Amino acid sequence: MPGLPSLRERGSRGEANMFIVNYIKDIYKGIRSLLVGMRRTGYYFTHHKEIITQEYPDNRDTLKMADRFKGEVVMPHDENNEHRCTGCTACELACPNGTIKVVTKFDITPEGKKKKAIDKLVYHLELCTMCNLCIIACPSDAIVMAQTFEHSVFDRAQLTKILNNPGSKIMEGVE
């Protein structure tokens, strides 16, 4: 509230009148501004269709995450249990946090040649910041981001995942 002028300031009668007018004007304006705010909250109080709350665990079935949402890194396998990872370690190099560790082995091809392939692609979800750098670094599109987001587990060790399925092998034609 603008303060009352001190006695010194209100000299003549005209100023005193002005003071009374301003005093009442202040009160009117102040109350009006408060009522405007109350009208706004009153509107929302009575209009429940404006409510924006999503009841999360209940709406799990209908909840649709954005298709680019960065939830966790996964390696898609096709129906023959084959993936596209060549074990080139581009993702491991691209990762800023050491989240990905590629363990390679040497397969013996039918022709008797040695061929480099992945044994395990270890992914530490607990270290991952979902920066997407591994995905864009991968030359053969072997890994993608999944849209899962409920990652909480009781044991930290469960967050260390091996992305390739057991017994999986590389798809034909991926170099």
Partner 1 sequence: MFRETEILQTASQVSSTGGDLEGAGDLVINVGPQHPATHGVLHLVITLNGETIKKVEPHLGYIHRSIEKMCESLTYRQFIYVTSRMDYLSAHMNNHACALCVEKGMQIEVPERAKVVRVIMDELTRIASHELWWGAMAMDVGAFTPFFHAFRERETINEIMEETCGARLTMNYYVPGGLMAELHPDFQKKVKSFITLFKSKIDEYDELVTGNIIFQNRMKGVGYLSAEDAVSFGCSGPTARGSGVSSDIRKLYPYAAYDQVQFDEVLENGCDSFARYMIRIREMKQSVRIIEQLIDNIPEGDFQAKTKAVLKLPKGEFYTRVETARGELGVYIVSEGGTTPYRIKFRSPGFSNLSALDQMARGSKLGDLVAMMGTLDLVIPDIDR
Partner 2 sequence: MWSLSYIANALHDWLYQTFSPTLALIIEMVIAGIAVIGLFAVLGLVLVIMERRVAAWMQIRLGPNRVGPFGLLQSLADTLKLLVKEGMTPSGSDKFLFNLAPYIAMMVAMLLMAPIAFAKDFQLWDLNIGVLYVSAVSSIMVISILMAGWASNNKYSLMGAMRSGAQIVSYELSAGLSVLVVVVLTGSLKISDIIQSQADGWWIFKGHVPVLVAFVIFIIAVTAETNRAPFDLAEAESELTAGFHTEYSGMKFALFFLAEYINVFIVCSIGAILFLGGWMPFHIGHWEGFNRVMDYIPSSIWFFGKTFFLIFVIMWFRWTFPRLRIDQLLNLEWKYLLPISMINILLATAIAIAGWHF
| Binding residue (CB under 8 A) for partner 2 from 38, 63, 65, 103 | 38
Pick what 60 binds: partner 2, partner 1, none; C-beta below 5 to 8 Å, kind-dependent. none
* Partner touching 94 among partner 2, partner 1, none, CB below 5 to 8 Å by kind: partner 1
Of partner 2, partner 1, none, which one sits near residue 113, judging by CB under 5 to 8 A according to partner kind? none
Q: Which of 13, 32, 48, 68 binds partner 2 (CB under 8 A)?
A: 48
The answer to the question of residue 28 lying near partner 2 (CB under 8 A) is no
Q: 52 or 108: whose CB is closer to partner 2?
A: 52
Residue of 102, 94, 104, 86 lying closest to 163 (CA atoms): 102
x/- contact string, 49-78, with partner 2 (CB under 8 A)? -xxxx-x-----------------------
Pick one of partner 2, partner 1, none as the site partner of residue 45 (Cβ within 5 to 8 A by kind). Answer: partner 2
Residues at the site binding partner 1, with contacts judged by CB under 8 A? 1, 29-30, 33-34, 36-37, 39-41, 52, 65-70, 94-96, 129-133, 136, 145
- Shortest distance in whole angstroms from residue 30 CB to partner 1: 4
- Give the H or E element holding residue 95: none
SS3 sequence, the chain? Answer: CCCCCCCCCCCCHHHHHHHHHHHHHHHHHHHHHHHHHHHHHHHHHHCHHHCCCCCCHHHCCCCCCCCCCCCEEECCCCCCCEECCCCCCHHHHHCCCCCEEEEEEEEECCCCCEEEEEEEEEEEHHHCCCCCHHHHHCCCCCCEEECCCCCCCCCHHHHEEECCCCCCEECCCCC
**Residue span binding partner 2 (CB under 8 A) among the ranges 30-38, 103-111, 114-122, 159-167:** 30-38
Token pair for residue 112?
Answer: 């008797």
